[in-house]
């Protein structure tokens, strides 16, 4: 193995993990648990090998690769999720996706090193690049799907953790089996086989990303009611977090007026308010006494952190933050005004546009107000019948 192969086979998968972690705007996951999932994923390679190797000696490599390995690997990779997603550190199913992707990436990196140890230097570069962009994405995405299922992705009446785990496993094993089967027949398909592998891997990644985006949107709508009704947040904060994808743009006036440090402090306060609201919603819904016992001190700590964050921002600036999204945000006329403001220069508002349109109907090129005034003056003259 050379340095390039090692870096390619490890850093690129970690980059994909960073992207998935970055998608969770509310940052409800915990970095230490991501590390736990990464380490477990690496250990799962050895556990899978202990099961697959004896079967390989009897039934052959292809049978194991296309029949037993996908099931064995997905089970071992996801075992850590049965522990992680039942903890108070997992707030909603997007956290399960992050932890699951981390476990899959840990598995992929360890497996990549194993493959690289069996090839020469020149072949290692090709193997490292192919596995970094295809196999690693597939492993991460499959385990992320299991993590989402376990952590609360809507699955109808499947409420028991083990049933959710099995449902996620079925989807993950199906994708993994399709990938491995294509990989074993790649030399028959030629270049098309590599394209199919890439399509399977990245289609699963896109599916995870779309599920995360949907989940975040769902949580933002819940925050509208939750933050607006509680002392933990305000209506302005709720409206800001419902438009989280535009938060950088929405907080731009704060940065322009008070500086980048205050802008970052305000964003931190908003995130803490969101996390606190989610935890409070979680403790209301759960019936698990152990989970409630874990959540209670976290909620207390979040309240303390939020109070400190708001104090750091300052009452005046925090009031400005809450006023960024006015209560008329959902008014049809306000939304129309926002759209027109983006299409036209700032000096040209809705009424000026309406006035200029009406000028075209007046041969004297007078505005609407001049026309009304002229009509009133005409009626006021003696002999015209005006009042």
* pLDDT (tens digit per residue) in 182-234: 988 876 666 788 889 999 999 999 999 999 888 877 776 666 555 544 434 45
313 phi and psi, to 5 degrees?
-65, -40
Helix, strand and coil percent figures for the chain, each rounded to 5: 80, 0, 20
DSSP run (H or E) holding 355: helix 350-359
> Above 70 in pLDDT, residue 354?
no
DSSP secondary structure letter of residue 328: G
The burial of 74, by beta-carbon neighbours within 10 Å (0-12 exposed, 13-18 middle, 19 or more buried), is given as: buried
Nearest to 33 by CA among 49, 17, 12: 17
> Above 90 in pLDDT, residue 54?
yes
Reduced to 3 states (helix: H, G, I; strand: E, B; else coil), residue 371 is helix
Q: What pLDDT digit, counting tens, does each position of 284-328 carry?
A: 877 778 878 888 888 888 888 888 888 887 776 767 766 654 443
Q: Report which listed range, 127-136, 316-325, 337-346, is most confident.
A: 127-136
End-to-end CA distance of the chain: 99
Neighbours of 277 (CB within 10 A): 27
Burial 132-158, CB ≥16 within 10 A → b, else e: bbbbbbbbbbbbbbbbbbbbbbeeeeb
Average pLDDT over residues 252-265: 77
Reading the block at residue 102, the tokens are: 């981390």
Higher pLDDT, 313 or 137: 137
Split at pLDDT 50, 70, 90, the class of 330 is very low
Nearest to 142 by CA among 103, 84, 185, 109: 103
In degrees, rounded to 5, the angle at the alpha carbon of residue 96 between the alpha carbons of residues 95 and 98 is 65
Neighbours of 22 (CB within 10 A): 10
> Above 70 in pLDDT, residue 347?
no
Average pLDDT over residues 106-123: 88
Inter-residue contact 349 to 358 (CB < 8 Å): no
pLDDT at 223: 60
In degrees, rounded to 5, the angle at the alpha carbon of residue 101 between the alpha carbons of residues 100 and 105 is 120
Inter-residue contact 236 to 321 (CB < 8 Å): yes
122 phi and psi, to 5 degrees?
-65, -45
Q: Report in angstroms the alpha-carbon separations of 70 from 76, 141, 148, 150, 182.
A: 10, 13, 19, 19, 13
Whether pTM > 0.85 for this model: the answer is no
The burial of 20, by beta-carbon neighbours within 10 Å (0-12 exposed, 13-18 middle, 19 or more buried), is given as: buried
Sign of CA dihedral 210, 212, 213, 219: positive
């Amino acid at each position: 193995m050379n340095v390039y192969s090692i870096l390619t086979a490890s850093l690129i998968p970690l980059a994909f993990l960073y992207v998935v972690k970055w998608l969770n705007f509310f940052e409800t996951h915990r970095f230490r648990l991501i590390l736990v999932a990464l380490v477990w994923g690496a250990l799962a390679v050895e556990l899978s090998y202990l099961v697959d190797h004896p079967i390989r000696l009897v039934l052959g490599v292809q049978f194991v690769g296309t029949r037993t390995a996908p099931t064995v690997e997905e089970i071992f990779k996801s075992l850590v999720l049965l522990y992680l997603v039942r903890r108070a550190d997992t707030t909603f199913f997007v956290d399960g996706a992050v932890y699951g992707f981390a476990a899959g990436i840990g598995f992929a990196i360890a497996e990549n090193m194993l493959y690289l140890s069996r090839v020469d230097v020149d072949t290692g570069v090709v193997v490292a690049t192919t596995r970094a962009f295809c196999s690693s994405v597939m492993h991460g995405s499959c385990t992320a799907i299991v993590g989402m299922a376990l952590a609360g992705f809507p699955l109808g009446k499947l409420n028991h953790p083990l049933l959710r785990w099995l449902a996620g496993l079925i989807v993950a094993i199906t994708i993994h089996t399709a990938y491995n089967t294509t990989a074993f027949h790649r030399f028959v398909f030629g270049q098309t086989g590599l394209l199919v592998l890439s399509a399977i891997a990245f289609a699963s990644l896109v599916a995870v990303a779309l599920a995360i985006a949907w989940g975040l949107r769902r949580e933002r709508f819940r925050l509208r009611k939750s933050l607006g009704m509680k002392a933990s947040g305000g209506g302005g904060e709720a409206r800001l977090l419902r438009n989280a994808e535009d938060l950088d743009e929405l907080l731009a006036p704060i940065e322009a007026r008070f500086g980048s440090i205050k802008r970052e402090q305000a964003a931190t306060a908003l995130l803490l308010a969101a996390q606190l609201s989610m935890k409070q919603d979680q403790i209301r819904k759960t019936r698990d006494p152990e989970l409630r016992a874990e959540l209670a001190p976290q909620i207390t700590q979040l309240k303390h952190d939020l109070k400190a964050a708001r104090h750091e921002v300052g009452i005046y600036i925090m009031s400005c933050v809450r006023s960024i999204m006015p209560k008329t945000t959902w008014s049809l006329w306000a939304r129309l005004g926002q759209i027109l403001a983006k299409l036209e220069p700032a000096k040209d508002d809705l009424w000026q546009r309406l006035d200029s349109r009406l000028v075209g109907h007046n041969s004297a090129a007078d505005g609407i107000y001049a026309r009304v005034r002229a009509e009133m003056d005409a009626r006021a003259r003696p002999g015209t019948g005006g009042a």
